[in-house]
Amino acid sequence: MAWKHSSSPVAKKFKVMRSAKKIMGTVFWYSHGVLLFETLQPGETTNAARYCQTLDKLREAIRRKRPGQLTNGVILQQDNATPHTARVTQGWLEKYGWEILPHPPHSPDLAPSDYHLFGPLNGELAGKRFDDDEELVDHVRKWLQNLDGSFFREGICSRVRLWQKCVDRLGCYVEK
């Protein structure tokens, strides 16, 4: 309650707009394009078990993209989120011989997706309205499929200098 003078203007009530729902999406890509894009159902979260299921799908996607080649020897860059560092995830990675490219905390400039992919995706989605989640996911899927291979090569190659800088600084924070 607030004390007001009798001649104070009446407070205006603003119409509250419902905020947009968020959809959690995961994108795995390499120098030639997208390997896997998937989204979570509303209310679903990523834990270690769910992340390992996603890694199984990624492993299968790599087999499809590179038939006849083994899927071991993969170098994966991920952050230090709990599902990524969990014991079950580490066991999965060891089982298939996948290596993790270390990622220092608070260094988004080293992550190609944060730096190179999500910015253009945000630009693509800016100002657009979608009738439902499926329409949004379909739009993002088509946008990813239509990106030229050079887009992905540039995203990885543009980070090499910063990765080297991070190695030279023994993993300390790196800025552009």
Extents of the domains making up the chain: 25-168
Q: pLDDT digits over 123-154, tens only?
A: 999 999 998 889 999 999 999 999 998 999 88
Cα→Cα distances 169→58, 162, 164, Å: 32, 11, 9
* Model confidence pLDDT, tens digit, residues 42-88: 888 899 999 999 999 999 999 888 776 666 678 888 888 899 999 99
Domain 25-168 has what CATH class? alpha beta
Q: Which residues contact 84 (CB under 8 A, 6 or more apart)?
A: 51, 78
Nearest to 21 by CA among 159, 158, 129, 173: 129
pTM of the model: 0.77
